[in-house]
Structure 1
C-alpha cells in the first residue's frame, strides 16, 4: 500500500490503479453506444417518422460526444485502439449533422453594391398576440407579449427592403388557430410597402409584387388520406400551405422570394412541442411541404431566395429534401455555431436562408428578438450577380 492506494503490477512492469481499471468498461460501451446511435441516425433520420424524437438532440452533440470519448480513450489502456476507432467513426458518421459553421473561419463576403437588397426573416411567435381583454391565450412558453407598439417598432427597426414573417396567427385556449387581420396596421406601419399573405405567412416588400401564391402540400402527400387538416377545421389553409412565394420586380429583373414555415417534428400546438405527441401525419406533412417547395424551385427559372423557420436542425435528415438548386447562406454568418432557437438556450439552428446561384450574400446576421419572440431574426444583404 502506498498513500492508501493499492498498486497493481502487470507483466512488463506497468502499473495500474483500480480506478484506472474501472475506466475501461465505461469508455468501451459508451463509445459503442454512441457509434450505434450515430449510425442509426444517419440511416433513419428524415426517412422514418418514428425517429423524430431522437432527432431532437442538440446538433452539437454529434461533435461534442465523440470528442469527449476521444479524451476518455487517452487515459484508457486496454482496448484503446478499438475505442479510438469507434469514437473516430462516430465523428465521421455524425460530423455533418453537428451544425458547426466551419466555412465562417475563412469565408469573406464581397462588399455590398449600392443597389443591394436587405431582407429580414423572422418567426414572430404568434404575431402580437395579447393576453388580456378576452383575446386568445398568450404564447405558450413564457411571458405574454403586451407591447404591441414595441412589436411593430422592432419590425421597423430592421430597415429591410423585404420582410418574410411567419406565425401571422393567434391560438385559442383550445389550440385552434385563429386568423389575424392586421393588414390595415401593416400598411400604416410600412407605408409604400406591398403586402402578400397566405395562411400564417406575411411578406412585406418595397418592391412591386408581380405574382404571389401559396404552395399547397396536398398534391405531395404520399397517402392522400394522411391529411394534416383536423376534422372540422375552419381554416384548412393554415394546415396545407406553409410556404408563400412572391415574385418581386427588383430593378429590371424579377426575383422569387420564398417565405417558409415548415411543420415541427412533433405536434407544436399550444402549450408547445411535446415529444409525447409524436405522429406519422406530422412527418408526412413535413415531407410534403418540402417536396412542394423543391418542385416549385426546380421549375422556377427566376433568381430565388428562400428563408424561414424550417423546424429542422442540421441534425435532421429531412433537410435533404430541400431544393438542389439552392445553397445554404451560412458561410456568411460570423459564427462558428449559429443557433436561432430558442433565445434562452440557443442550441439549435432551425431558421435558415438559401440562395440560387444568381444571388450573392454580402451580409448575414442573426438578430436578437429583444423579448419579442423565442426565435432570433435573420438579416441578410443580397445582390443579383447575373
Structure 2
C-alpha cells in the first residue's frame, strides 16, 4: 500500500515549481517558437477533424486559406533561427505544413500541368455569380445597400464577351429593402440577347446553352430535422432557399452531357444583413450539407458525363468540400495561377467558386475572368471536350 503524501512534501514541490518558473531564463526552458508551433499544430489537427462536420466550427473555418501554408513556413524559419528546441519546433512546424497545405488554396500543379490542345468542337463554358443579376439603378429594382450601381448594357456586354456555348449563371434574383429575394423574369431579354440559345431556370440559377436541352430539373435539398430548414417563416418563395443546383442535360453532337449549375448555401444567414456570430448558425450549416448531399446523390445516380460549376461559398480551407460528388475531379490543376482566388473580385483573397468534371470530360483550358465591377465574384471560363 502506498504511503500518503505528507503536506510538507507537497509544499516543497510547489515551492520548487515556483522557483523553476520564476528563475532567470525560465521562459527559455520551453522556447516560444515551440509553444507557437505546437499551438498551431493543435489548431490544424482540430480543423481537419471538425471543419465541415460540426456547425460550431464555422468561425475558425473563416481563416484565410493561405494561412495554412504561410503560418507553418514562418514558424519553420523561426525554429531554424532559434537557439533552443530547434529540431522539435521544426518538426512540429513541418507537421502542421503537411497537414494543412492541402487546404491552403495553393495550386502547385500550375507549375507542371500542361493541358492538351482543344479540338475544334470543344465546348466553351462560362460560370459566374452575377451579384443579384442586373439589379441596379437602370433596372426595375434599386441596388441593395452596399452594391454599386451597374450599367445593365455593360452586364450583357460582359456575358457576350465570354463567347461561351454554355453559361451557368447564379443569383438570377433581386433583393428588396428587407433583404428578401424577389423573382426575376428576364427571359424575353435573354432570348433577344442570345438568339438560338436554349434556356433553363430553377430558383436563382439560369443556364443558357447553344446545345439543345433534353432534360432539366432543380435539385431540392432535404434536411433531416425540420428545425434545420433554411426557409424563413412566411416565405413566398421557399424554392429560393431549398433549390440550389440546376441540372440540365445537353445534347452535344451525338452525346448527352449533364451540366450542374450550383450555388451552395452561404454559411452566413442571408437574413442577418452581415457577418456576425449569430449569422453563422446550425441552420445554415445543415442546409449546406443537405445541398451537397442532394447534389452528390444525383451525380452518383447519373451515368452521363458531367460538369459541375458555380459558387460553392466554400474556401479551400472548408472541410465541407469533401461532400463534393465522388465522381467529380477538381479542374484546378488546369488553372495557371499558383493561388487562384475568385472573391472578392476587387481584392481577391479567397476562392469560393469551383469547377469539377467526371473522367469522361477533358479540361483544355481554365481561367478566372475578372468582372470589372459588375460582380463581387470572378467568372470561370473553361474549354472542355468529351473523350472519344
TM over 0.5: yes
Deviation at 1:357? 0.7
The answer to whether structure 1 residue 138 and structure 2 residue 143 are counterparts is yes
Structure 2: gaps (5+ residues)? 1-23
Change (3 A) 1:305 1:79: same
Aligned twin of 1:284: 286
Greater gyration radius: 2
The answer to whether structure 1 residue 50 and structure 2 residue 50 are counterparts is no
The answer to whether structure 1 residue 190 and structure 2 residue 194 are counterparts is yes
Deviation at 1:356? 0.5
Q: C-alpha deviations, 1:225-252, integer Å up to 9, x for none?
A: 3211100000010011000000000001
Secondary structure in structure 2 of the residue aligned to 1:366: strand
Q: How far apart are the structure 2 equivalents of 1:186 and 1:24?
A: 66
Change (3 A) 1:307 1:217: same
Q: How far apart are the structure 1 equivalents of 2:98 and 2:137?
A: 48
Aligned twin of 2:172: 168
Secondary structure in structure 2 of the residue aligned to 1:225: helix
Q: How does 1:39-118 map to 2 (within 5 A)?
A: 39-118=45-124
How much is the aligned-residue C-alpha RMSD, in angstroms? Answer: 1.9
Deviation at 1:286? 0.2
Deviation at 1:142? 4.2
Q: How far apart are the structure 2 equivalents of 1:34 and 1:180?
A: 47
Change (3 A) 1:306 1:226: same
> Is the contact made by 1:266 and 1:275 (CA closer than 8 Å) also made in structure 2?
no
Secondary structure in structure 2 of the residue aligned to 1:185: helix
Q: C-alpha deviations, 1:60-106, integer Å up to 9, x for none?
A: 10000000001111211112122112111111221111111111111
Q: C-alpha deviations, 1:132-187, integer Å up to 9, x for none?
A: 78x54524444232x11110111011110000000000111111000011000000
Structure 1: gaps (5+ residues)? 1-17
Q: TM-score, normalised by structure 2?
A: 0.90
Please say which of residues 270-279 and 323-332 is displaced more in the overlay.
Answer: 270-279
Q: TM-score, normalised by structure 1?
A: 0.91
Q: How does 1:347-362 map to 2 (within 5 A)?
A: 347-362=349-364
> Is the contact made by 2:230 and 2:284 (CA closer than 8 Å) also made in structure 1?
yes
> Is the contact made by 2:179 and 2:270 (CA closer than 8 Å) also made in structure 1?
no
Aligned residues: 364
Deviation at 1:22? 7.4
Q: How far apart are the structure 2 equivalents of 1:267 and 1:35?
A: 30
